[in-house]
Amino acid sequence: MISGKKSLKITSVILASLLFFAGCSFGQPETVEEPPVEEEVEKTKEIEATIIDQEKPDLTGLAQNPLTGLYIKEEYASLRPIGVMINNNHKCLPQSGLAQADIYYEVLAEGGITRIFAVFQHMTSEKIGPIRSAREYFTSFALDNDSIFVHHGASPTGYNAIRERGINNLDGMNGGIGFYRDPDRSSVPAMYEHSSYINANGIYDQIDNRGYRIARDEEKEPLFTFADPLGDQIELADGTEAVSVIIPISYYQTSEFYYMPKSRLYERHQNSVHQIDEETNEVLTVKNIIIQFTDMWAVAGDDAGRMAVSLVSRGTGKYITNGKAVDITWKKDSQYEPTKWYTADGEPLELNCGKTWVMVVQTGTNVSYGE
């Protein structure tokens, strides 16, 4: 065994020898030309590009879902969206098929209730509903997304809007493939109006029978602009804390969203109860929430108390994602022009990839944002 002092002495000798030989000249040294700086830069770029390519997932056969920005099969991404008018009366819960939707529009209807216009890029559910009647303002969302409109009946102004605006639609009042009444609901008193359903195959079969266009209009830009799905998520650094978002709609309806840090998604609740899909038993979740403030009023002379909603207009709102909320603005110049969203600085709004819930609420609604 070598002692510490002896080891140190041997190391010193070796080091001195190395320094001696390094200082000696044994003939002419070979001349080594350094490569040009440009050549080294190009080699570095090539190596970096190779590393990046190796890190990218295989996207063969995939394309971005225009409603979420996420990757799905190309054949699904090229489809025309389907919009379904979903009942949101408390008696009708739980709903079916909603978990497959990509965009949700929730708006006040008569009697303090809300209805949901759910937009699907691709659907496979065997049970979707309960389906309810259309209102005039929901046709604006169908036009914004170039979607086929599935509903069961409509108000007089709703039918007029569908006809005058050329909305391709499937109406449960006319029957047709896929529409049916759920016997467990239709046989219960006061539940008949909450018992209309359809299945995905029925929707696509009816579209085919009616000769409606099934492919996306490639000339129409997607409604939303999304961040790079393979890049970093948008973080609203200067936003208001929004771990909970509580939206009082009426005496009857309070819509709620709660941020889940682990999944980085918002869970949907209403009146303090989880909103679930009956077919999958999963809680509805979204990545983005948009609150759109606008004017609403009761239609004069309408004995059912139906509402009118100002959507061809402009106003303010909130964008909420990853636990934060920021101010935004919006405008829609005509029924046939899509709604456009902007940051407070007037730049086009960019969303995180994922599902979006659009809450269209009365201007002045006192929304609370919790930490």
Q: Is the pLDDT score of 54 beyond 60?
A: no
**How far, in whole angstroms, is CA 20 from its chain's centroid?**
71
Q: Is the pLDDT score of 12 beyond 50?
A: no
Q: Report the C-alpha gap between 291 and 107 in whole angstroms.
A: 11
User: For residue 24, with 0-12 CB atoms within 10 Å meaning exposed, 13-18 middle and 19 or more buried, which class applies?
Assistant: exposed
Q: Is the pLDDT score of 48 beyond 90?
A: no
Q: Report the C-alpha gap between 314 and 227 in whole angstroms.
A: 24
Instruction: Print burial letters for 165-180: b (CB count within 10 Å at least 16), e (below 16).
Output: eebbbbbbeeebbbbb
First to last CA, the chain: 65
What are the phi and psi torsion angles at 280 (to 5°)? -115, -15
The predicted model gives 173-183 an average pLDDT of: 89
CB 249 within 8 A of CB 270: no
Between 54 and 110, residue with greater pLDDT: 110
AA letter at 24: C
Q: Is the pLDDT score of 52 beyond 60?
A: no
Q: Report the C-alpha gap between 203 and 209 in whole angstroms.
A: 10
CB 153 within 8 A of CB 88: no
Per the listing, tokens 């001349």 go with 31
Q: Mind listing the pLDDT tens digit for each residue in 231-270?
A: 999 999 999 999 999 999 999 999 999 999 999 999 999 9
SS (H, E, C) 188-249: CCCCHHHCEEECHHHHHHHHHHHCCCCECCCCCCCCCEECCCCCCCCCCCCCEECCEEEEEC
Q: Report the candidate in 255, 328, 302 with the shortest Cα–Cα distance to residue 136.
A: 302
What are the phi and psi torsion angles at 288 (to 5°)? -125, 145
Between 11 and 361, residue with greater pLDDT: 361
Q: Is the pLDDT score of 333 beyond 50?
A: yes
Torsional sign, CA 206, 209, 215, 221: negative
Q: Report the C-alpha gap between 223 and 194 in whole angstroms.
A: 31
Please state, in angstroms and as integers, the Cα–Cα distance from residue 2 to each residue in 11, 18, 315, following that order: 12, 22, 83
Please state, in angstroms and as integers, the Cα–Cα distance from residue 77 to each residue in 133, 170, 223, 229, following that order: 28, 22, 14, 15
Question: Residue 56 — very low, low, confident or very high, per pLDDT cuts 50/70/90?
Answer: confident
Q: Report the candidate in 295, 296, 277, 286 with the shortest Cα–Cα distance to residue 245.
A: 286
Q: Mind listing the pLDDT tens digit for each residue in 104-145?
A: 999 999 999 999 999 999 999 999 999 999 999 999 999 999
CB 107 within 8 A of CB 360: yes
Q: What is the pLDDT of residue 322?
A: 98
Mean pLDDT (the chain) is 88
Q: What pTM was computed for the model?
A: 0.85
Q: What is the pLDDT of residue 303?
A: 81
Instruction: Print burial letters for 184-223: b (CB count within 10 Å at least 16), e (below 16).
Output: ebeeeeeeebbbbbbbbebbbebbeeeeeeeebeeeeebb
Q: Report the C-alpha gap between 268 and 213 in whole angstroms.
A: 33
Tell me the domains of the chain and their CATH numbers.
Answer: 71-370 (3.50.90.10)
Contacts of 102 by beta carbon, 8 Å cutoff, 6+ apart: 65, 67, 68, 81, 119, 120, 121, 355, 356
* Paired sense of beta strands 82-87 and 148-151, if any: parallel
Q: Report the C-alpha gap between 216 and 90 in whole angstroms.
A: 34
